[in-house]
Structure 1
Amino acid sequence: MASVSRKISAASARAHTRKSKQKSSFTLPSGTLKTILVILFVGFVAWAYQAIQPPPPKICGTPGGPPVTAPRIQLKDGRHLAYKEYGVSKDEAKYKIIFVHGFDSCRHDVPFLSKEFAEELGIYLVSFDRAGYGESDPNPKRTVKSTALDIEELADQLGLGSKFYVVGFSMGGQATWACLKYIPHRLLGATLLTPVVNFWWPGFPANLSTEVYNQQFTQDQWTLRVAHHLPWLTYWWNTQKWFPASSVAALKPEIFSPPDRALLPKFASRKNHLAQIKQQGEYGSIHSDMIIGFGKWEFDPMDLENPFPINEGSVHLWQGDQDLLVPVTLQRYIVEKLPWIQYHELTETGHMFPYADGIGEKFLRALLLGKQ
């Protein structure tokens, strides 16, 4: 009996061992594992692709889009450009000016032209929504050059004559550089109001641009790097919630110098049109501005030639010495390279100086009458 018991115990042990081996040696077939990894990878890629894709714009005048309330022209490529007129009528005007608004702004943001001053000098001014802003259609093929061509076509359709003046503020100053490059034959004169600089313009010495670039907020350094080197990632970078993106887009208080903060009460009137600025989508407006403004330009402004070699017109650049958004150091270097530009540096002044009382008359008299 003992022998039989030992045999039964041995048989049970062998059976248990076989079951244990069967359990421990279970693995997925190699083909199945590869399939799962491929599915996970494809899923991640699909998620990442969706995350970086901006939503389609809500174009004004289309089903589901914002209404059209402004006068607009239709450009040759089919896009619409919305505009607003200020001052005296075109027929009465002695001076005709096209104004180019800045970042996160629109055609309504013309703080420097009073009715009285416009009538005194005979000024007609038209401000337009740049592509993607306000009620102007986005331009998926937008370039530095395209805005200059939009300005030329606006002037032609509004009947401003063969030549006119251009004034650009902040990011609109970059469009003014483009006008000096691509349509100088259409200009009577131009004014750049604290125009945004691109740190990657090749005319800047590397040590100078790097030094000034490193003085920007860290989050803005990264935002500009993305816009320049990885433009297709700009939408995701500025909408993700993991870390701070552009301080300018977020309108953080730190971007304003003390002189700018003193002018903030004057921005109160913007509440009436604030909702219109990005109503068609942020990608076609402010994100496009970042990509174009800090991307790889088709030309370097410091290579421009004087468009008025016999002083038949003038170009002016105005800059505040306490501007935290546009470095005064780089602006000084630009005008050293382009001595034909009349440079006006305003002391104790920040980026938003066009909102200050009397400044508008000052820079318009300089442009139109040659008076300081």
Structure 2
Amino acid sequence: MATETSSRSSVKPLPRSGILLRSSLITIFGIISALTFQSIVKPPPPKLCGSPGGPPITAPRIKLRDGRNLAYKEHGVPREKARRKVIFIHGSNCCRHDAIYATLLSPDLVEELGVYIVSFDRPGYGESDPDPNRTPKSLALDIEELADQLSLGSKFYVIGYSMGGQATWGCVKYIPHRLAGVTLVAPVVNYWWKSLPSNVSNEGFNLQPKRDQWAVRVAHYAPWLMYWWNTQKWFPGSSVASGDYSILSQSDKDIILKLGSSRKPYWDEVMPQGKHESVNRDAIVGFGSWEFDPVELEDPFLNGNGSVHLWQGDEDMLVPVTMQRYIAEKLPWVQYHEVAGSGHFLHFAEGMVDDVVKTLLSTDA
């Protein structure tokens, strides 16, 4: 017994000072690990246009309220002679040159309607300075300021494509008094908009490839990991960020095959400042927590002096048509146009751009 008692008494509890030391060491190790990991995943700073070693400035630019520069490109009839003025908002992996609704618009229609279109590089794209604080609201205010500095008048039209939808919905929410009409073409839907029923958002979410399901999860829940997620080699990152066209519908693949390099001869001008503040930021904003829900918006044209249109291809593999149908059903003031047999690049179909623009401008045509 004595031996057993002696053995037990030899095992003494760790002094309080030892417990505190161990806890402190664990905490310090955790902090060092977190800081090390954060330094590994931290994206490189963007290569600002006009900075030493950065891309050159070739486009006209305006200086915004916070000192950022916004690059733009003008199309159609001269601004001072235009009867209808349109601002075009491009999607991901695009820039001011991707003003499809200007470049594919019939010259006769341009003259007939007196259409002027200005496209611009969204923050971080092309020659526009990045905005790490970008939100749908800030994008809408950028657009309003662009209109003011170009003297587009008290009201103007807006066309937003794909990821440009975040800015377009922002315009409907924050600057409805400046709008003459709005068109959304295949706008990306946020699976976390609170008014989307779980069965609708889950159905759309599950239609996406697994790699994109994980990418949007990261964008929503851990946006600070977005750069690492799309550059690490263990798992496939976002298909959009990596330029993987295998997920597209056959109609979209046919369009890419037909157009070849002529579809984007200006590819080097799309993201010269890097991918993080362009494509990655698109995902962070598009799938992040919005301060408003588009499904709860009110008609910005209650007096009938304008209209909102939503165009969607029923074979779009990037933006599920089922989600657009639900949004159109819940917003009866949105005129919904579903294009059979078309994918995300529905505007390349013959005559489609003319139809989209004429429909938008029909209010006062």
Whether these two folds match at TM > 0.5 is: yes
CA drift of 1:252 comes to 1.6
Instruction: Describe the shift of the 1:37–1:312 C-alpha distance in structure 2 as closer, same or farther (beyond 3 A).
Output: closer
CA contact (8 A) 1:320 1:346 kept: yes
CA drift of 1:174 comes to 1.9
CA drift of 1:46 comes to 4.1
Structure 1 unaligned residues grouped into runs of 5+: 1-29
Q: Distance in 2 between matches of 1:237 and 1:277?
A: 21
Give 2:313's aligned amino acid. Answer: G
Decide which of 166, 188, 197 is 1:196's aligned counterpart.
188
SS at match of 2:168: helix
Question: Which whole-Å deviations, capped at 9, do the CAs of 1:158-217 have from their partners, x for residues lacking one?
Answer: 000000000000011221111000000000000000100000001111122112211210
> Match of 1:124?
116
Q: Distance in 1 between matches of 2:332 and 2:205?
A: 24
Instruction: Describe the shift of the 1:259–1:370 C-alpha distance in structure 2 as closer, same or farther (beyond 3 A).
Output: farther
Give the TM-score of the pair, scaled to structure 1. Answer: 0.87
> Match of 2:286?
293
CA drift of 1:40 comes to 7.0
> Match of 2:13?
none
Decide which of 316, 319, 328 is 1:323's aligned counterpart.
316
Q: Distance in 2 between matches of 1:42 and 1:152?
A: 43
User: Does structure 1 residue 56 correspond to structure 2 residue 48?
Assistant: no
Instruction: Describe the shift of the 1:146–1:39 C-alpha distance in structure 2 as closer, same or farther (beyond 3 A).
Output: closer
> Match of 1:6?
none
CA drift of 1:331 comes to 0.2
Give the TM-score of the pair, scaled to structure 2. Answer: 0.89
CA contact (8 A) 1:102 1:172 kept: yes
Instruction: Describe the shift of the 1:174–1:317 C-alpha distance in structure 2 as closer, same or farther (beyond 3 A).
Output: same
CA contact (8 A) 1:184 1:307 kept: yes
Structure 2 unaligned residues grouped into runs of 5+: 1-17
Question: Which whole-Å deviations, capped at 9, do the CAs of 1:266-294 have from their partners, x for residues lacking one?
Answer: 35224431111111111110110000000
Instruction: Describe the shift of the 1:331–1:38 C-alpha distance in structure 2 as closer, same or farther (beyond 3 A).
Output: closer
> Match of 1:207?
199
What is the total number of aligned residue pairs between the two structures? 341
> Match of 2:272?
279
Identity %: 57
Q: Distance in 2 between matches of 1:143 and 1:165?
A: 21
Instruction: Describe the shift of the 1:366–1:42 C-alpha distance in structure 2 as closer, same or farther (beyond 3 A).
Output: closer
CA drift of 1:127 comes to 0.1
CA contact (8 A) 1:109 1:270 kept: no
- Which shows bigger deviation, 201-210 or 127-136? 201-210
User: Does structure 1 residue 103 correspond to structure 2 residue 96?
Assistant: no
CA contact (8 A) 1:200 1:296 kept: yes
User: Does structure 1 residue 342 correspond to structure 2 residue 335?
Assistant: yes
Q: Distance in 1 between matches of 2:269 and 2:36?
A: 31
> Match of 1:178?
170
> Match of 1:9?
none
Q: Distance in 1 between matches of 2:59 and 2:350?
A: 28
Higher-Rg structure is 1
CA drift of 1:45 comes to 3.7
Q: Distance in 2 between matches of 1:85 and 1:193?
A: 20
SS at match of 2:318: coil
> Match of 2:9?
none
Q: Distance in 2 between matches of 1:228 and 1:75?
A: 28
CA-atom RMSD in angstroms: 2.1
> Match of 1:351?
344
User: Does structure 1 residue 365 correspond to structure 2 residue 358?
Assistant: yes
Q: Distance in 2 between matches of 1:197 and 1:332?
A: 11
CA drift of 1:315 comes to 0.5
CA contact (8 A) 2:207 2:320 kept: no
CA contact (8 A) 2:306 2:363 kept: no
Decide which of 71, 74, 82 is 1:85's aligned counterpart.
74
Q: Distance in 1 between matches of 2:54 and 2:277?
A: 14
Give 1:350's aligned amino acid. Answer: G
CA contact (8 A) 2:160 2:167 kept: yes
SS at match of 2:242: coil
Instruction: Describe the shift of the 1:298–1:42 C-alpha distance in structure 2 as closer, same or farther (beyond 3 A).
Output: closer
Question: Which whole-Å deviations, capped at 9, do the CAs of 1:219-265 have from their partners, x for residues lacking one?
Answer: 11110001001111111111111110101222223221111112113
User: Does structure 1 residue 169 correspond to structure 2 residue 158?
Assistant: no
